[in-house]
A = this chain, B = another copy of it.
Amino acid sequence: MFGVTILGNNSALPAYDRHPTAQVVTLNDQLLLIDCGEGTQTQLSKYKIRRSKINHILISHLHGDHYFGLPGLITSMGLLGREHDLHVYAPAALETILHLQLKAGNTDLPFALHFHALENFEDILIDEKKFSVQLFTTEHRVRCWGFIIKEKKMPRKINKEVVQQYAIPASYYESLQRGEAYTNKAGYTFKNEVLTIPNKAAKSYVYCADTRYVEKNTSICKQATLLYHETTYLQNCEHKAALRFHSTSIQAGTFAANAGAHKLIIGHFSSKYECLDEFLTETQTVFPNTELALEGVTFLV
């Protein structure tokens, strides 16, 4: 299972029971939290997502609607007796703020909190056995990062019928999965592609954070299986969007098309819009395979 659950899809001012930005990425048994607006811990409870399963929290930038829920979530994790490590990846200035908050509350967390400052463009931030997280920078009013969460390439699968037919010992299966050939005692070499079949392609989720339209990022995000792009405004507010370094529906759709994404989800809606239908119809004129990032919905990557 590789999916994204939306906890908050609104921009800065909470409105119409929509919440500030937060998303949970599920990668098998791993949960990653992307951004953590005020109220994220309550949204996690509402959607029955276990806080204890979250080991990595990624914060894209330091506008409050993307991180004001973080100190509450961290202290709640402590009150719930968490003992295993937590990794927070965020702009450097957050480390001082968090430390001052913990100090002011005289809070000793019962777990290790590891802070990783977001730095260079295109850094590999997390490199785990089954997935990686890569950074890229967006263009916003403050320094802001997007995240590319990629499954690691899956090993090839053994073609059971064929290996049994040629009586290839099981001790060679691992090397076959890595793509190696096999030579039997008689000196005959079997090509790997005869003995194995390709596994399903590695998928990726790309989170574009808050940003204006950035053409060069389409190549970095190319062929995302699932792409999230903000659409704070409808197209008739293009000028306002530009002033505030945000994007419109048409710009998000154009970005997805130019990046060659398979599917697009859109969010970070301005609180001036009660109804979201037009966001979908406008974006779909450019990129048909678009959905609204509705809260509580899980999108499979």
- Write the nearest CB–CB distance from A75 to chain B, whole angstroms: 5
Q: Contact between A63 and B105 (Cβ–Cβ < 8 Å)?
A: yes
Whose C-beta in chain B lies nearest to the C-beta of A142?
Answer: B106
Copies, count? 2
Q: Contact between B97 and A101 (Cβ–Cβ < 8 Å)?
A: yes
Known: A62-B105, A72-B68. A93 touches B97 (CB 8 A): no
Give Cα A100 to B103, complex, Å. 15
Known: A13-B80, A39-B39. A104 touches B142 (CB 8 A): yes
A94 near B: Cβ within 8 Å? yes
How does the 8 Å CB contact mask read for A256-284 relative to B, with 1 for contact and 0 for none? 00000000000000000000000000000
How does the 8 Å CB contact mask read for A33-47 relative to B, with 1 for contact and 0 for none? 000001101100100
Whose C-beta in chain B lies nearest to the C-beta of A80?
Answer: B13
A110 near B: Cβ within 8 Å? no
Contact for A41 among B14, B93, B97, B141, CB less than 8 A: B14
How does the 8 Å CB contact mask read for A66-84 relative to B, with 1 for contact and 0 for none? 0011011001100110000
Known: A62-B105, A100-B100, A142-B105. A14 touches B42 (CB 8 A): yes
Q: Contact between A96 and B100 (Cβ–Cβ < 8 Å)?
A: yes
B-contacting residues, A82-126, CB 8 Å: 91, 93-94, 96-97, 100-101, 103-107
Q: State how many residues of chain A have any CB contact under 8 Å with chain B.
A: 35
Contact for A71 among B41, B68, B142, CB less than 8 A: B68
Contacts of A69 in B (CB 8 A): 38
Contacts of A45 in B (CB 8 A): 14-15
A198 near B: Cβ within 8 Å? no
Give Cα A283 to B150, complex, Å. 56
Contacts of A141 in B (CB 8 A): 106
Whose C-beta in chain B lies nearest to the C-beta of A63?
Answer: B105
Whose C-beta in chain B lies nearest to the C-beta of A78?
Answer: B12
Shortest 3 CB-CB contacts between residues of A and residues of B: A62-B104, A93-B104, A38-B72
